[in-house]
Each structure stands twice: as structure tokens, then as C-alpha cells.
Amino acid sequence: MSIEKYEVIVIGGGAMGLASAYYLGKRKVKSLVLEQYEFLNQQGSSAGVSRQFRIPYPQEYMVQMALDSMPYWDELQSHAQSVLLDKVGTLWFGDPTVQSTEGNINEAKKAMDALNVPYESLTSSQIESQYQFKNLPDSYEGIFQADGASIDFRATIETLLEQCHNNSYISLKQQSPVIHIQPEGSGFMVSTPTAKFLTEKLILTPGPFVNDVINLLNFSIEATYWNMASAYFKKTENSIQYPTWFVFQNPEGTNGNQFYGFPEVYWDNPEYIRVAPDFVMQPLDDPSQRTFIPNPQELAYTSQWVKDHMTGLAPEPLFTSTCLVALSKIPNKELIIDFAPNYVDNYKNVVIYATGWAAKFTPYLGKILVDLSLDGHTSIDLSPFKMGDQFFKALK
């Protein structure tokens, strides 16, 4: 069996893997992307066709990262047939004292103020009158930031895949799960069921299957897995439109959970509005436990919230689906961007992206991962995203 040689192998062919390959190709680096399923699959965190781009975050470094990502979206847009970011604005509203998976409204205000990001502060009645919500508690507050957008995520991934296909430096292999990684000199021998490949460097972007890959290098990440539900609700009023939004509430009964939503978009079930719960009733211990059928209680809570608080929508959830995401168990470590721990052979030649929600950073993260892999550093401060060796778990 002949062994193909590459400068970089990317393991995981979802959005982050293809974005990494895209920037490897721009730097004319002979690279291979290995995807265990087919490209454009719905098995992992690239599932679904829409995502939110937003500026509000409770941390200044995350606000800055969102701002920094915008030129990279513009560059990718120059290759796309469709509009990748449909700028409709971001609305955050709810109880200003609530801390959620997305953060806190007042902390987001402080972070945006520090970086001179414009936004509008809103009262409960203004949210209802301007954005079609109803029956909100008087104590609710909100912020509207005009740069928020719906991401045509399917078109984003299709654009990256096409650009990689058209680049002679990039090879793409689907249905190629990695079953073995062996240090070889200063690099690695990577094996699939049908082939072996020699590479100098690895970029690991396997999404929720991160431990399936890094276990092959004898370490793991402490993570939990959310099989997140999604549903669409039929518009009963043609004129109704929403921005991208997120509501902050304490988890008390059907109206106390976190929900988020999108406007109607042409690429994603026109005449329907997507609304989804930003919680799960029961996290998974392993990605193999995922199902494509949403939890019925999560859908019921979402349907009730739509009925109680949104105008112009029928409350029956339709076109339901799930998306699998890995979340770090380490406090304040939503995104992990780092090299492998130093007890791994050739650890400086292994770059990892894992856990969290990062579709909004897709092209920028690809650039960051490539800079780390090829140059050993990047222009942004990655300290908030680094694991540090003490947080990795050695398997040996």
C-alpha cells in the first residue's frame, strides 16, 4: 500500500475543518481533509441550515472576536452565490439579572460599551411594540444590535467545500473515519480503514466527536453533549418578521427556560419562523447516544412559549430536527482552541478546536487554526480559549 504524504491533515470536514482547509489552500499548503461521514452531513454540529451572527457577548474578548471576524465573512462572501449573512439585527431581552449559556444582558452592555459598539436599549413595552413579542413581564429589558444576522450556514459550508474542491493543494476524502494516529518522526501516520497517510501536522476539528479523535493520541477533554432540538412555526400573518433573538429567563415552568429564534429566510422553510430551546432536558454522556428525534418536552415548552409570547405564528412545531454539540465542563471555557498537551508526542504539531457554539466565527476560526498550525502563533490573544495541560485528561 502506497502512503500519501501531506503537510497538514485536517480531521473533521464540517464548517471548521473546511474553513481550515480553505486557508491552508490560500497558503498553498498540501493538505488533506478526512471526514468520517459524507461532506455536508447532518450528523454533528454542522447540522441545520441557519445560525446566528451576533456582536453581544458578556466578555470583551468575545465581542472583539465577533468584530474581527467580519472582514473574513466579507472575503468568503466574494466567492459565494448566495448572501451568507442576512443582516437583520440581534435582539437580546428578558430578565436582566439572569445568567444563561449566552451570558447576561447587562454584562453584554458593558462589554460593548468598552469597545464602542452601538446598540439600542429597550423597555419591555418597546420590545413588544417594535418586535412583535407579547405578554412580556414589565421588568424585562432588552438590547438591539444592528449588525446581527442570520447565517445561511448551508451556503457557507457549500462555498467552503467548493473552494476546497477547486484548490489543487487540497484533497478531500469523505467516509474516511480515522482509526489510528501514530507519531512518526516529527509528524504522524494517520490511518483510516482503507488507507494510511503521513503528515507533518494535524488540525483537529471533529466537532462533538472530539474525544473519538484525541483519544487516539491518549488524552481527552471533559465534555458534555447536547442533542439540541429545533422546530419551525407557520406564519399566520405575512407581514410578521423577527430579528435574530434570545430571551433570558429563570427556569421556572414552561415560560422560564431560554429560547432563541430567527426571522423568516428564503433558504430555510420560507413562510416559517424557526424557534428553538437553548437547553436540553437531559445532556448526553457520549455522542453515540444522539437521536434525530427532538425531545417532546423541549418542543412542548417551545410551543407554549411561542403561543404565549410571539404574534403571527401558529404554535404547532413543524420540520423538527436536532443538532449535536459538545460543551466543555470547564467554567468559562466555551470554546477550546489550543495545541495538544505537552505529554503528547509532537504536541506542537497538533492544533485542536473543540466544544461550544462558534458558527458565527467560521472563516475567522479557520484562519486562526491555520496560523497556529503553520506559524505556531496567531495575532489574537488565545488565553481565554486555551485548556492548559492541567485540564486535559491523560489516558495512559
| Residue 274, H or E segment | strand 272-277
DSSP bridge pairs for 228: 323
Confidence of residue 254 (pLDDT cuts 50, 70, 90): very low
| Residue 308 Ramachandran class (φ > 0 left, ψ -120 to 50 alpha, else beta) | alpha
pLDDT in tens, 122-150: 999 999 999 999 999 999 999 999 999 99
pLDDT in tens, 165-174: 999 999 999 9
Residue 252 above 80 pLDDT?
Answer: no
Percent of the chain with pLDDT over 70: 97
Per-state percent for the chain, helix, strand, coil, to nearest 5:
30, 30, 40
Range 299-307 contact pairs with CB under 8 angstroms and sequence separation of 24 or more: 299/229, 299/231, 300/254, 301/254, 301/257, 301/277, 302/229, 302/231, 302/259, 302/275, 302/276, 302/277, 303/231, 303/233, 304/254, 304/255, 305/247, 305/254, 305/255, 305/257, 305/259, 305/275, 306/233, 306/275
CA angle 174, 180, 185 (to 5 degrees): 110
pLDDT (0 to 100) of residue 393:
77
Q: In what order do the strands lie in the sheet with 120-123?
A: 120-123, 141-145, 90-94, 244-248, 259-261, 272-277, 223-234, 318-328
Distance separating the N- and C-terminal Cα atoms of the chain:
30
Q: What is the mean pLDDT of the chain?
A: 94
Q: Which domains does the chain have, with CATH numbers?
A: 4-46+154-220+332-394 (3.50.50.60), 90-146+224-328 (3.30.9.10)
